[in-house]
A and B are shown apart, each in its own frame.
Chain A
Amino acid sequence: MTSTTSTAEPAQVASPNRKHKDHVAKRYPLWFLIPGGLIYLIFFVVPTLASFYFAFTRWTLFESEWIGLQNFTLFLSEPGLIGSLWNTLVYGFVTSGAKVVLGMLLAVVLSMPLIARGYLRSVTFFPVLLSAVGVGLTFQVLLDPFNGIVNKVWTAITGGDGPQWLTNPDIALLSVAGIDVWKGLGIATLIYIAGIAAIPNEYFEAARVDGASSWQVFRSIILPLSFPATSTVILLSLIGGLRSFDLIWTTTGGGPGFSSDVIASVIYKQYQAGYYGLSTAGNVILFVVVTAIVYPLNRWLNSKETDL
């Protein structure tokens, strides 16, 4: 995820020896790229490029009529649609931020020599294996405002009624984001555990000799040296968060009203309603949003990483 170093044989670069080059070409034939490349081209690149045309049309899948920017102006002027853009950003940043903070915290704890460490690691990772649909439906029941166990516990502790997690427009989106964090935290933690494990032991030994406190060890060794893991977690979870559909669709369906609609769920709704051009315009907007955030962020994180 982090760097794009190609590992070329130095000799190859240094000597433009023709014979040697042929030799390399024979060993590593370029046609190896074709099977995968063809599938990628046909089923990913072509539709992506086509979307830039069809987004400007009224489209039935068989016929398309050029209507210019109409789809986009509609998308950006409808409160229900433009709201989804805002929700997408909130959802992406909240889930990503929470996964970075909680993932690192959990990884630090799970890297300590604890009792039952293997068990704790497995349990934390377990939700990653579950499907978003299964998780969504389960939490719909757990978070039921009247019968759900979460609110029953809430009432038992505070005496009052618990929040209407998924049915109150003000908090529905954040509730879903919370479920997303519950489900995806295991991946972030795993990446951080791998990142912390990759820190050379000498650093910790040197810190111990110097009598550093655990906080100092965290602050000056773990935090900076696990930065590659941090950038991986940020990028993966942000990309996932901005594009997320399954969990939102199965918990709230974008509701109540449009309060938890994200661009991906709007794309589906417009598709279902037969507005293919408008749906594709949503795709283009999602493309622009994700790329405009993730691409510069990726470059920035990479440059910080090489500074380290």
Chain B
Amino acid sequence: MNSASRLTRWVVGILGIIITSVVFLVPFAFVLLTASKSSKEAGKLAFSLPTEFHLFDNVVAVFEARNNMLTTAFINSTILTVASVALMVVFGSMIAYVLARRKSRLNGLINAMVLAGLIVPPAVVPTIWVLQGLNLFKTLPGLIFIEVAFGLSFTILIMRAFVATIPKEIDEAAIIDGAGPIRLFFQVIFPLLRSVIITVVVVQSVAVFNDFQNPLYFLPGDANATVQLTLYNFRSQFSTQYNLLFTNILIITIPLLIMYLIFQRQIVAGMTSGAVKG
């Protein structure tokens, strides 16, 4: 490497660090600082260090607000995310597998459905009508099914391309060893999908955990609140407790942040194999 390109490496890198810090880290720092302030100080909305450090008090206050609503919401959101993403992965991979392996007359229809699922905006009130008919309106299982139905297309799309890269000889070897279709899929193929499963789990967990619109429509009510809806605890028409609001934002971001830090590398790999080269 010659000296000119080494210089570019440094100059562009440092420039990048400065720009990204301003654009991406300042808002985050602002959230963190405000979450550490007292109610009065936070109300000034200034970008400054807190005079007294109140983060722990604020965390306690946020959890205790409105009869521990945040705790309930965390439980609801966790059940919602884990259950719907698990169903998406299992059912989605089953469909993607058959779709990629077996040529049948259904393939055209399924591909059209997958495309429709990506494009078509869900019809809100008719969905409520269906949920009500099934006695699932305002229930967690109802919302889980909704999230699965809305997330299935993306899951199948990414997985289909990945299944195609698994050599068929593996299937044949398993068949010769006497594996039936269920064992062939769940014991042989499913573990091989690991990297694309991680991508799907991360992307869909972010989508479901952060979802605001669907809980708002299909799971209204404080007892059923998901974490996104707790953000409205600290706002009223007349005043906002900014320190608690930003503490809440901070708390509900942490689970996804941890997940991202763990799976960071695999996400790019999964994207490369699935989304782009589809």
Q: Is B126's CB under 8 angstroms from A124's CB?
A: no
Q: Which residues on the B side are within 8 Å of A27 (C-beta)?
A: 101-102, 171, 175, 181, 184
| Contact A28-B181, Cβ < 8 Å, known A48-B126, A291-B120 | yes
Q: Is A144's CB under 8 angstroms from B117's CB?
A: no
Q: Is B9's CB under 8 angstroms from A228's CB?
A: no
Instruction: Identify which of A126, A129, A132, A193 gathers the most chain B CB atoms within 10 Å of its CB.
Output: A129
Q: Which residues on the B side are within 8 Å of A2 (C-beta)?
A: 276-278
**In chain B between 101 and 138, which residues have their CB closer than 8 angstroms to a CB of chain A?**
101-104, 106-107, 110-111, 113, 115, 117-132, 134
Q: Is A32's CB under 8 angstroms from B9's CB?
A: no
**In chain A between 28 and 69, which residues have their CB closer than 8 angstroms to a CB of chain B?**
28-30, 32-33, 35-37, 39-40, 42-48, 50-51, 54, 59, 61
Query: What string of 1s and 0s marks CB contacts (under 8 Å) between B256-278 and chain A?
Result: 11001000100110011001111
Q: Is B95's CB under 8 angstroms from A267's CB?
A: no
Q: Interface residue count for B (Cβ, 8 Å)?
A: 103
Q: Which of B103, B106, B125, B185 contacts A12 (CB 8 A)?
A: B103
| Contact A126-B103, Cβ < 8 Å, known A267-B124, A271-B124, A271-B125 | no
Q: Which residues on the B side are within 8 Å of A29 (C-beta)?
A: 98, 181
Residues of A within 8 A of B (CB): 1-4, 6-9, 12-13, 24-30, 32-33, 35-37, 39-40, 42-48, 50-51, 54, 59, 61, 109-110, 112-117, 119-120, 122-134, 137-139, 141-142, 144, 147-149, 152, 182, 190-191, 193-195, 197-198, 228-229, 232, 239, 242-243, 245-246, 249-250, 264, 267-268, 271, 276, 279-280, 283-284, 286-287, 290-291, 294-295, 298
Residues of B within 8 A of A (CB): 8-10, 12-14, 16-17, 20-21, 23-28, 30-31, 34, 44-47, 87, 90-92, 94-95, 97-104, 106-107, 110-111, 113, 115, 117-132, 134, 145-146, 148-150, 152, 156-157, 164, 168, 171, 175, 181, 184-185, 206, 209-210, 212-213, 216-217, 228, 231, 235, 242, 245-246, 249, 252-253, 256-257, 260, 264, 267-268, 271-272, 275-278
Between A and B, 16 residue pairs with Cβ closer than 8 Å are A6-B99, A36-B92, A43-B127, A44-B122, A48-B126, A54-B126, A61-B132, A124-B24, A126-B28, A127-B24, A141-B30, A148-B45, A149-B45, A228-B277, A246-B213, A267-B124
